[in-house]
């Protein structure tokens, strides 16, 4: 008697994920932990390939990140992921979902951004908006620490 895994193997299916595991009675979803080194989570239907990876590296360098701190997941996997203190989440080619990241980017697929000035500009504006907010917060914190004393000089 063949098991389900034999049938899947015969069809060439090596790996599979349940889209709606909550529908199985008695099944409990185990949350997957996100690597603590991850600073940007790329949520997309397909992982970046070849030229998309080069484009991704260029985009990441604009806000001082490297590929080593990026992780990829499919949109259906986001609900099963346990993550805290994530700085960036980027929905590329899929609709944004509820998340716990501090900063969110939303764009078409990376392959569509490559040759489209309008898409690149929209993504760049999102990145700049977060950088401006970060710069403003940093300068506010710096000026708050410079309290003048009674002689008018800063402490």
pLDDT (0 to 100) of residue 29: 66
Question: What is the CB neighbour count within 10 angstroms for residue 118?
Answer: 9
Question: What is the CB neighbour count within 10 angstroms for residue 98?
Answer: 6
Answer yes or no: pTM beyond 0.85: no
Domain coordinates of the chain in residue numbers?
A: 33-132
pLDDT (0 to 100) of residue 149: 47
pLDDT (0 to 100) of residue 13: 79
pLDDT (0 to 100) of residue 118: 97
Domain 33-132 superfamily per CATH = DNA polymerase III, psi subunit (3.40.50.10220)
pLDDT (0 to 100) of residue 43: 95
pLDDT (0 to 100) of residue 66: 95
Instruction: Split the chain (155 residues) into runs of 10 and give each run's mean pLDDT.
Output: 71 73 72 88 94 95 94 89 87 89 93 93 93 65 48 46
**What three-state secondary structure class fits 142?**
helix
pLDDT (0 to 100) of residue 11: 84
Phi, psi of 136 (to 5 degrees): -65, -40
pLDDT (0 to 100) of residue 101: 82
Residue 64: C-alpha distances to residues 43, 114, 121 (Å): 19, 20, 18
Nearest one of 111, 42, 118, 101 to 73, comparing CA atoms:
42
pLDDT (0 to 100) of residue 59: 94
């Amino acid at each position: 008697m063949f098991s389900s895994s034999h049938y899947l193997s015969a069809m060439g299916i090596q790996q599979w994920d349940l889209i709606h595991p909550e529908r199985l009675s008695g099944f409990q979803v185990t949350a997957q932990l996100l690597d603590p080194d991850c600073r940007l989570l790329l949520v997309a239907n397909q992982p970046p390939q070849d030229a998309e990876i080069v484009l991704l590296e260029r985009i990441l360098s604009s806000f001082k990140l490297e590929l080593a701190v990026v992780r990829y997941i499919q949109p259906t996997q986001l609900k099963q992921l346990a993550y805290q203190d994530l700085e960036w989440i980027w929905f590329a080619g899929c609709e944004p979902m509820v998340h716990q990241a501090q900063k969110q980017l939303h764009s078409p697929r990376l392959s569509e951004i490559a040759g489209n000035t309008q898409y690149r500009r929209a993504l760049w504006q999102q990145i700049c908006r977060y950088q401006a907010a970060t710069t403003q917060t940093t300068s506010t914190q710096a000026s708050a620490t410079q309290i003048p004393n009674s002689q008018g000089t800063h402490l």
